[in-house]
Structure 1
């Protein structure tokens, strides 16, 4: 990414919005400075770039996505491929992805490739535990997540897809890290959504393991995040099911079953048959175990 390409893209966005340089500039950025920047002659500070984007009514994410000519980043493409192969339960293709990330780590010595490979191994473990042989590398993933003070999208995705690797103690510890270290990003819809989805999975796993204390604590956090966005109806209905699961697990079986059945009924009404069937099977299994 060169200064010239950034400047030219700014000019393209400005002209597409029929804005003059004068309309974009202010006391901190002169027309001459903007002109030189758009022509790639000079640089500007990040603060001035953010000010320009604000004047153009463009988000930082939109701008840099356009700068990459609307192509997915290498990591984004990896996640798309990973999801497709996981849904198809294609262990061989996930193994190929993992081996590819391992080779890149060996060739370039960039730790993120090794972390990606560990994440892919977690999915292999989910699908076929007999082919999982990376136990010795798990501490590297935990160390990275514990060392990062501010979790960005990368850390959340890494954690969300590696949950099966962790003990209950490690899962609780890392979930607390996620909550505490992503608070700056809760106003960003993309980050909030993946945090909510990850919390949902963590709560379900903890309840299935009989860990009701921390699951309740994380569920309270989940409810707070859901209050921010009134349109997350699917997630709110899943949260209701988890609330019922908690009641069921703590001795209030009748109340728990009522909440879970209401949640399932909502999915039926919304014609989300597969989801309704999945949760109905889960509830039936819980009742059979009692």
Structure 2
């Protein structure tokens, strides 16, 4: 966590010099070393520093979390752009770069490395890379929090299909604690949408159909978010393709296009249309595969 970097940003945003922020708590050189990640300070000194810059611990930790989420979003957006443009050599460079940073075990950076490696292997070998470390982590955590839900959301495709199905029940149950938060409610639908795609990849149409039923139930319970509704309708269309019901698929997908135009979601409409075109041309091909992974905290 970037404790010192976040403190430095707060100090600069407040227009305070090192001397003012240090006060009687630290020397200027001690504070400078802390801000530049060259030394640590005691918790008592840190609380005093926050008081010196007129910032409550609650405000500080809120800003710290925002910093961490922005860093994660930047990495995942980078991965998304490289995958969408099929620049897998750059993905391999990203893995090397992240490994050189020596991320702590079970940190987000270490999981990003495993995620990117899984994407690379899936592209090369056309089958998911088993990640026992991820599964081991999820199983050993007795009470899943947000981080575990996010991890499951993006790694569901690497487990065997039965494990993904069983863990989905845990994810739905745990996500109830967070559904009053719009961002975390969106995460639940990312999990369901990702699992639906993973089940189709494994040709487990029974699990895919059950996932759609759960998705619909959750939509009826509580959400005014437009994106989950679009994904649900489009996934209904995709499922119709897998059952060789082309006309039904067309009806669902055209509903999605109309809603995108209504809400002026031009980029989303283009993405849905690209996928629809691919499915309409390839759904009869027994070797055709598609995997969609939504990152819960990225728009």
Scaled by the length of structure 1, the TM-score of the pair is: 0.63
Distance 1:70 1:86 in 2: 25
| Contact 1:115 1:140 survives alignment (8 Å) | no
1:123 to 93, 105, 119: 119
The separation in 2 between residues aligned to 1:69 and 1:201, in whole angstroms, is: 25
SS at match of 1:187: coil
1:242 is displaced (CA, Å) by 2.1
- Which residue of 48, 60, 71 maps to 1:40? 48
* Cα distance between partner residues in 2 of 1:39 and 1:144: 33
Of the candidates 220, 229, 235, which is equivalent to residue 223 of structure 2? 229
Between stretches 83-92 and 234-243, larger displacement belongs to: 83-92
Q: Distance in 2 between matches of 1:174 and 1:285?
A: 30
Aligned to 2:176: 183
Quick one: which of 217, 236, 240 aligns to 2:233? 240
- What number of residue pairs does the alignment pair up? 241
For 1:141-196, what per-residue CA distance to the aligned partner results, in whole angstroms no more than 9, with x for missing partners? Answer: 11112222343443333333334423222321232232222221122222221331
Pick one of 88, 91, 105 that aligns with 1:91: 88
Alpha-carbon offset, residue 205 of structure 1: 3.3
TM-score where L is the length of structure 2 = 0.61
- Give the superposition deviation at 1:207: 3.5
Aligned in 2, Cα 1:90/1:250: closer, same or farther, shift over 3 Å?
closer
Range moving further from structure 2, 82-91 or 263-272: 263-272
Tell me, in whole angstroms, the C-alpha distance in 2 between the residues paired with 1:273 and 1:42: 47
Which structure has more relative contact order (CA 8 Å, sep 6+)? It is 2
CA distance change for structure 1 residues 63 and 185 in 2, over 3 Å: closer, same or farther? Answer: farther
1:1-290 equivalences in 2 (<5 Å): 1=3, 40=48, 64-67=61-64, 75-105=72-102, 110-112=105-107, 113-129=109-125, 135=129, 138-207=131-200, 209-227=202-220, 228-230=222-224, 232-246=225-239, 249=242, 255-267=248-260, 270=264, 271=266, 272-286=269-283
- State the Cα RMSD in Å: 4.3
8 Å contact from structure 1 (residues 146, 177) kept in 2: no
Return the offset for 1:247.
5.1
Match of 1:25 in 2: none
Q: Which structure has more helix as a fraction of its residues? A: 1
Gaps of 5+ in 1: 13-37, 44-48, 54-59
Change (3 A) 1:166 1:72: closer
In 2: Cα distance, 1:253 partner to 1:211 partner: 19
Alpha-carbon distance, 1:237 to partner: 2.3
C-alpha change, 1:40 and 1:201, in structure 2 (3 Å) is same
Give the CA deviation at 1:255.
4.4
